Structure 1
């Protein structure tokens, strides 16, 4: 039996689209010699065929074999060395050169190493193809489910008898077809040489030569990332362990490489890595003190250094990825050193040689992601600071009062908020100087022991520390009955309050309850979102309990110009997955608040208070036991709304020729993934020249360009994917695998399959959203803004937190004037997403957003004005938005300043845009129906009017939520409008699909159909 090796010709750039690959594919196919079975073990090449066969019917892989002469049957042995452990169960298809299947196929032997087949050469002498791993697809096109087809015996009894199928001697005597070569449907799907397994005999030889070793160590360069974590590649078996690793790098380059650790006989604990200085000629050296040991730690997404114990299970192959900056002033030449990997079971040494070239590369080689030069981004702290982000102002400390943009917080002696107020005006377009109190009394954490509530005795009053212009911290300590209460609080310039509260038992004690009391001022507790309630007006009584099936740990309560979000957590909190994947990584129930299902929240209105009480119920604490009652608070609004800016920026949400976009009247274009300049989901780095050319042309037309890029999932085309997979569940969320064929064939199975684009075969995996990939993301945003000129981001549901969002904002603002970030969300209020509110899910990111697009599956027809206000519009949080599902409701949308977005179906906003321009809406002040001083009212809660006021004229948007046709007289404050009623006209311009032309008398009732309205101009 002949042994073959596979040398894979990788595409020049992994991000190339299939259409662009075809000329390269053709060249590869024509230039590859189809090899006879006696070929050298190092000579077999990948031949990516010119024709693109039907992968759905035949699979992604095949071998070409040549039959020399006609015969009833021929035999062929294929040295495929497959990583697929179940290959013996899978279907194998033989076809002739024209693609016609051969029915008479006999499997003599099939295992991972080889397959020996007998088949009937139906077309006589010539080329035949042997396809393996064909699959059947079910599920949706974007979330496919693939099953590999089982083997079926299609050989006829007559043919089997004719060739002596039951006689091994007769089969052995059959003429042999020659293996010409392995072919993949395209280069990206091809198995690499790191995915060709060593045979059992080769493995035995490796182990025989290292019987005393605790583990075996193999060096590997970045061009050959480890792809199998429990099977030895033939490449390593042929080379053997401990051989010198030869690397090459340019001066100034970030060089990444692997130390492959194999533990065939035992588990390893606490792996450590050392690399002494690399020595060159004439005393030259490369300092290795800042070696990146990615598996052993680094810098987390919050900017904190961390180290972690690294263990390796028995039988695993563990690629320990390392990274080293080659100094820009390094002397060219060869540098030598030794890597030492040590564990409690023993150690191993590996010589390393690096040839440093004469060339000098810029920016660590970051412009060449295919070389894995960007791995140092994983440990980046870029924009991890406490500088102020516009429009926010530095946190001011005056005694116990902390002041930020439009809001004030007075800290009580126990460290908790004693008072919170807002100076945002009800119109939400400005900040006044009349504070509105959110609280009726101080917040307090109450400990209830033997029948009474203990009052905190302060032992250390708050001491304030300014960490930077945008953040202030304080600590306070109290004794609450038998518990010691330590409070660490922080306020940030955007209105986020973070509390880390530790309650430690000084003695064994039994408690009836530990609870947080938030006494909202009743007049401000008008609306509520969260805890399983869609946005609506608050109720007089509401009760809620913890439930892991629901992504719920808090709520927002307030009014348009004054509100407070609260979240209840502990020191174990991890951000759950979202957008269809909540149940794959649900909320960790906080041990303190949940207390084994005893905790919950009750709300009640009493007089001038609206009390929110988060209780945790009875429990026993041992002496020295500590519970963490952490609280996240956010004071809204975060900023004023800016209708003028909102109406002047009109979005075109599709990649299209720029002349088409400008012709539609749009000023901002969002570039989705799966487009020529941004093909791969959440990896927008592989077509930078195309992207820059498009953006430059848009800028020349006065337009802005934003791109789709988030962390929620990652394309399989990202060059760093093998590195991320090697880090376990830190970055790639663990799961049951499955999904698109590339994932099943090239991953080890511990992942969650995500979005798939069949046209370009882009398959994504789910990321954790709270990992070092966030650091990479920030560096990527900075790189794109600096080198490509993107004006902002379009975020389609996000998995990352406010820390990352704040860094994104800083990265864009550092390089682009007036950057824009808009967030789209599908309605998260469903079982898959844990019955969460999109507004609440993303409230922590809202301080750094410019616009919302909420979104698919939102109901614009059967929901209340309160729902629109709190769940969709963004206005109580300082944002404005747009509609999506079925085009939204244009009449109701206008009372919130919302339209749908070009060129999505269901509604065309261009007619409304023209009406805006005719009026000059971008020069008007928006006075919403929610403002007490709105100059136009209807006198009804189910018919609302919003005014857009200019000098001497006003546009009035009216919309009905009444269940039947109705009419309302307008209550107009003519003086406030600045219009003489005796001379006033009220007209409705004709807007196709929206309203007919009509003139109304000054006192005439306005007729309204259910769910519709008017756009009137008064002047």
Structure 2
């Protein structure tokens, strides 16, 4: 080669490298001029959560700044606040030249000269109540000085520059997934990809797709398509996502096809181990389902994918692909490369929340079976008679109960008494045509018992052109689910369809439901379906024998208060013609649920489903006397010390404090919580946690993946797109709320704002409502299992319940299998109010009672109501549960008639004096004999004063409480003969109960003064 040629090549290389260097320098200069993104600290309440940091270089009366904020909201309706960064002095003269979603051109007066200034561009104020707030943004303000404006010469103004954008913290930041691409950037992207039907953006789990109507600047920088690269461990449930942009036209029925993932050494992860959560899964009953996903033109859909990596998988680099297609659209492929490290995860990655491995829990079937659970016994069947704990049911040739009995006795502490009839005759499903009841003919019921925890039966009946299919399932806890389908074989007119349940009059002493407040049963009650209220359930019975009937919809729902979603149950309601009658008839109390007249078409199917629950559901648990609750509002203060000193043995950790800050998502504070639970355990206190569904915090790590599932998990709502006028819920709350600023700014639309809590660290926990039943319940159950095993909690505190009995049974089984001595404690306010549909919670939630350990019925309850109201609505005793009081700490005297106290720590309540009385008397080894029990050995001379006795072999604790309008005197007559005691050989003392009564060494049963609303405690001992 000639020297000249060598020189020529070298020179060319030098020129090329000079060009690259210039390009690099230019790029760095451009990058240096672009704003960065970070966080800062300021008073968010006044200024909002976002600002631009602006540098003014030299003195001027006014400067101009171009602010490329790339927003997804409408900035034209929001005001601006500018302050001097050093002094905090506000800038009064601010003028906007141009404002749109991409940028704002703003002029302001730098009041303190050169330096940094803060432009707060989303300032807001909160309106409404603190727990249901609405975010109201400041309107644009044109209050700048007219003289200052007239002096402006826009063309000659010096330019200030934006140094960076800051959010109040990283959680509130829009960067990077909500920094919107400009219109020009999107146009350029589309121009480069015109040959494609849609665009794909594979993304790591660290960058969840947040916008469904715009694409982010990050995708412009990354470019479309490309390979997804991930790093995982053995035994990890690995999650990633693919963003689909319907850039050119609508995409209908998206479909994914996964290949096996293979490495060079022959290792393979089967395509069967890969799934997309957006396209299907398992529901809360364990049933597989598929979903149709479509994207409107210009829309974005994130598809979340899980790879179930076995623990035996060999390390290596695995390759595969995901084919993405839509109806009528040519498929495209995303290459996938996952490097599996040679590390084994013990917990699938669940401990590390940022991995989002817990999305695997969405399809869990944990606790989903028909096995027997505590304290119930196996179901036995003999000749169409089913035996369960303390109760029996016999069904007839039509499949309906014709005999139901209870052998509970006393205060439900014995299940071996003489069987007592709850029914007076068979239950019937009658169809009346032309004034005549159809006669059913058909084969005998076919019975199946796949497990010892339940038995089911079904039959098909026919009568004059009408076919009735009966399917029923009875479970070990006394619940019977009936599904009835009535099919017309020809066009016909039906006068009525009636479910008739004849209660035995001797058992139907008390009643609640169908809009009737709990207490003694009225002689007659009539009820019709209402368009708003869901009080479609009734209980009638006595303390030891009762039956609830709940009319049910065709499809499962858990609508507690109203019919916002389902409307009145179509077939039962029959456009408002249906209803219920309760009336006495020849020794029985008849419940008739009717539909009224209707025209049936040939082939039309009517669903008349209902559920029955035989009460009591279980014996009263004597451990109640050892389960003494401490429950307090935040702040934390000295909870443990107070609980220990006063004798509490169970502590509830509510939401909204440093131990459990985020509602229904305790996983972000488990380190602190675990230590606290362990310290409690060391001093003999079991710790339970507020953990349920119904609403979910905005701090949920999986929130964006859940949002990508549409309305499956979260209830749809108007989000931030609400009018300025809101409806009040009657208790000081704001039912129609946009919620806090995070919800407005990040979720924006289609959410339903729920409970908000200001936290101790100046954060604000903001929640949105979840669906009544969804896959989130599977996640919730797995989370409960994890909390019991890893955090050490021994139960949950439920404030209302956002799920049905199928989920509640799973909750019970999950906890019992995870650890011994787990408790479920249920609290509710009083829903017997028109705004809640006149629902009594004891009736409303009764189908869940078999799984519960205790009740706490509080807000809105009137503890001055009559004793029969206390017994039915508040005490829980007719259903096999003890309860406690809340409102104003209840009434200690009346409460003890039912074994109830208040809870230590709650709004100043202190039941410790009564706890000491329990210990002194050894109440846990006594038998309660309530004022409602015919075997009560102590009678009172005044019917306005009620008496309950706690009996031991050698002593009695007599509790009395008055309902008289004023003070009264009573005499207590003891049936010494029934006790087997000699009245001359007994001592009567009045024990000291601090704050309630003073001690008297010698008590008197013949003349006792009872002050209005009060009572007392007497101990009688055999010498």
TM-score of the pair, normalised by structure 1: 0.93
Tell me the residue number matched to 2:45. 56
Q: What SS is found at the alignment partner of 2:418?
A: strand
Q: Distance in 1 between matches of 2:369 and 2:679?
A: 34
Which stretch of the first structure deviates more once superposed, 969-978 or 504-513? 969-978
Which stretch of the first structure deviates more once superposed, 828-837 or 707-716? 828-837
Q: What SS is found at the alignment partner of 2:320?
A: strand
Q: What SS is found at the alignment partner of 1:908?
A: coil
Deviation at 1:939, TM superposition (A): 5.1
Q: What SS is found at the alignment partner of 1:822?
A: strand
Cα deviations across residues 469-498 of structure 1 (Å, max 9, x unaligned)? 111111111113321011111000011101
Q: What SS is found at the alignment partner of 2:416?
A: strand
Tell whether the 8 Å contact from 1:221 to 1:258 is kept in structure 2 after alignment. yes
- Give 2:987's match in structure 1, choosing from 981, 985, 988: 985
Corresponding position: 1:421 with 2:405:
yes
Deviation at 1:833, TM superposition (A): 2.4
Tell me the residue number matched to 2:525. 542
- Give 1:646's match in structure 2, choosing from 624, 644, 657: 624
Q: Distance in 2 between matches of 1:250 and 1:41?
A: 38
Tell me the residue number matched to 2:731. none
Q: Distance in 2 between matches of 1:961 and 1:39?
A: 83
Tell me the residue number matched to 2:973. 971
Q: Distance in 2 between matches of 1:840 and 1:474?
A: 27
Corresponding position: 1:734 with 2:716:
yes
Tell me the residue number matched to 2:912. 910
Deviation at 1:689, TM superposition (A): 2.3
Corresponding position: 1:40 with 2:31:
yes
Tell me the residue number matched to 2:777. 774
Tell whether the 8 Å contact from 1:532 to 1:835 is kept in structure 2 after alignment. yes
Cα deviations across residues 705-726 of structure 1 (Å, max 9, x unaligned)? 1111001211111101111111
- Give 2:961's match in structure 1, choosing from 939, 959, 964: 959
Deviation at 1:826, TM superposition (A): 1.2
Tell me the residue number matched to 1:338. 321
Tell whether the 8 Å contact from 1:551 to 1:587 is kept in structure 2 after alignment. no
Q: Distance in 2 between matches of 1:439 and 1:178?
A: 83
Deviation at 1:296, TM superposition (A): 1.5
Q: Distance in 2 between matches of 1:378 and 1:598?
A: 41
Question: For residues 577 and 765 of structure 1, do their structure 2 counterparts lie closer, same or farther at Cα, with a shift above 3 Å needed?
Answer: farther
- Give 1:619's match in structure 2, choosing from 574, 592, 598: 598
Q: Distance in 2 between matches of 1:41 and 1:290?
A: 45
- Give 2:184's match in structure 1, choosing from 201, 207, 210: 201
- Give 1:1015's match in structure 2, choosing from 1009, 1014, 1017: 1017
Q: Distance in 2 between matches of 1:975 and 1:818?
A: 40
Tell whether the 8 Å contact from 2:36 to 2:163 is kept in structure 1 after alignment. no
Q: Distance in 1 between matches of 2:119 and 2:66?
A: 11
Tell me the residue number matched to 1:436. 420
Tell whether the 8 Å contact from 1:447 to 1:481 is kept in structure 2 after alignment. no
Deviation at 1:934, TM superposition (A): 1.0
Q: Distance in 1 between matches of 2:956 and 2:596?
A: 56
Q: What SS is found at the alignment partner of 2:361?
A: helix
Q: Distance in 1 between matches of 2:190 and 2:1005?
A: 96
Tell whether the 8 Å contact from 1:335 to 1:354 is kept in structure 2 after alignment. yes
TM-score of the pair, normalised by structure 2: 0.92
Q: For 1:855-870, what aligned pairs fall within 5 Å after superposition?
A: 855-861=858-864, 863-870=865-872
Tell me the residue number matched to 1:20. none
Which stretch of the first structure deviates more once superposed, 441-450 or 656-665? 656-665
Cα deviations across residues 731-775 of structure 1 (Å, max 9, x unaligned)? 111112210111111103211111111123111111113110110
Q: Distance in 2 between matches of 1:517 and 1:937?
A: 39
Tell me the residue number matched to 2:278. 295
Tell me the residue number matched to 1:455. 439
Which stretch of the first structure deviates more once superposed, 556-565 or 975-984? 975-984
Cα deviations across residues 138-191 of structure 1 (Å, max 9, x unaligned)? 111111122111111121111111123xxxxxx133111121211111121111
Tell me the residue number matched to 2:6. none
Tell whether the 8 Å contact from 1:953 to 1:979 is kept in structure 2 after alignment. no
Corresponding position: 1:705 with 2:708:
no
Deviation at 1:810, TM superposition (A): 1.3
Q: Distance in 2 between matches of 1:210 and 1:574?
A: 46
Q: What SS is found at the alignment partner of 2:785?
A: helix
Question: For residues 45 and 834 of structure 1, do their structure 2 counterparts lie closer, same or farther at Cα, with a shift above 3 Å needed?
Answer: farther
Cα deviations across residues 982-1016 of structure 1 (Å, max 9, x unaligned)? 23333322333322334676551322222211111
Tell me the residue number matched to 1:791. 794
Deviation at 1:45, TM superposition (A): 4.0
Tell whether the 8 Å contact from 2:38 to 2:167 is kept in structure 1 after alignment. yes
Tell me the residue number matched to 1:21. none
- Give 2:84's match in structure 1, choosing from 96, 101, 108: 96
Q: Distance in 2 between matches of 1:418 and 1:41?
A: 84
Tell me the residue number matched to 1:801. 804
Structure 2 unmatched runs, 5+: 1-26, 720-737
Question: For residues 522 and 795 of structure 1, do their structure 2 counterparts lie closer, same or farther at Cα, with a shift above 3 Å needed?
Answer: same
Tell me the residue number matched to 1:936. 938
Q: Distance in 2 between matches of 1:815 and 1:978?
A: 47
Deviation at 1:888, TM superposition (A): 0.7
Tell me the residue number matched to 1:119. 108
Tell me the residue number matched to 1:187. 170
Cα deviations across residues 520-542 of structure 1 (Å, max 9, x unaligned)? 00111111111111111111111
Corresponding position: 1:106 with 2:116:
no
Q: Distance in 2 between matches of 1:570 and 1:618?
A: 19
- Give 2:375's match in structure 1, choosing from 381, 391, 398: 391
Q: For 1:268-307, what aligned pairs fall within 5 Å after superposition?
A: 268-307=251-290
Which stretch of the first structure deviates more once superposed, 806-815 or 628-637? 806-815
Tell me the residue number matched to 1:725. 707
Deviation at 1:350, TM superposition (A): 1.6
Q: Distance in 1 between matches of 2:489 and 2:123?
A: 65
Which stretch of the first structure deviates more once superposed, 211-220 or 522-531? 211-220
Tell me the residue number matched to 1:477. 460
Q: What SS is found at the alignment partner of 1:206?
A: helix
Cα deviations across residues 564-588 of structure 1 (Å, max 9, x unaligned)? 111112323421155xxx57x4553
Q: What SS is found at the alignment partner of 1:777?
A: helix
Question: For residues 428 and 838 of structure 1, do their structure 2 counterparts lie closer, same or farther at Cα, with a shift above 3 Å needed?
Answer: same
Tell whether the 8 Å contact from 1:785 to 1:811 is kept in structure 2 after alignment. no
Q: What SS is found at the alignment partner of 1:289?
A: helix
- Give 1:663's match in structure 2, choosing from 645, 650, 664: 645
Deviation at 1:657, TM superposition (A): 4.7
Which stretch of the first structure deviates more once superposed, 53-62 or 674-683? 674-683
Corresponding position: 1:159 with 2:138:
no
Corresponding position: 1:367 with 2:367:
no
Q: What SS is found at the alignment partner of 2:31?
A: coil
Deviation at 1:267, TM superposition (A): 2.8
Q: What SS is found at the alignment partner of 1:814?
A: helix
Q: What SS is found at the alignment partner of 1:693?
A: helix
Tell whether the 8 Å contact from 1:394 to 1:469 is kept in structure 2 after alignment. yes
Corresponding position: 1:218 with 2:201:
yes
Tell me the residue number matched to 2:395. 411
Tell me the residue number matched to 2:755. 755
Question: For residues 353 and 631 of structure 1, do their structure 2 counterparts lie closer, same or farther at Cα, with a shift above 3 Å needed?
Answer: same
Deviation at 1:38, TM superposition (A): 5.5
Q: Distance in 2 between matches of 1:475 and 1:941?
A: 50
Deviation at 1:460, TM superposition (A): 2.0
Q: Distance in 2 between matches of 1:120 and 1:980?
A: 98
Tell whether the 8 Å contact from 1:873 to 1:882 is kept in structure 2 after alignment. yes
Deviation at 1:325, TM superposition (A): 1.1
Deviation at 1:911, TM superposition (A): 1.4
Q: What SS is found at the alignment partner of 2:39?
A: coil
Question: For residues 1003 and 858 of structure 1, do their structure 2 counterparts lie closer, same or farther at Cα, with a shift above 3 Å needed?
Answer: closer
Tell me the residue number matched to 2:877. 875
Deviation at 1:81, TM superposition (A): 0.8
Q: Distance in 2 between matches of 1:933 and 1:537?
A: 20
Tell whether the 8 Å contact from 1:954 to 1:977 is kept in structure 2 after alignment. no
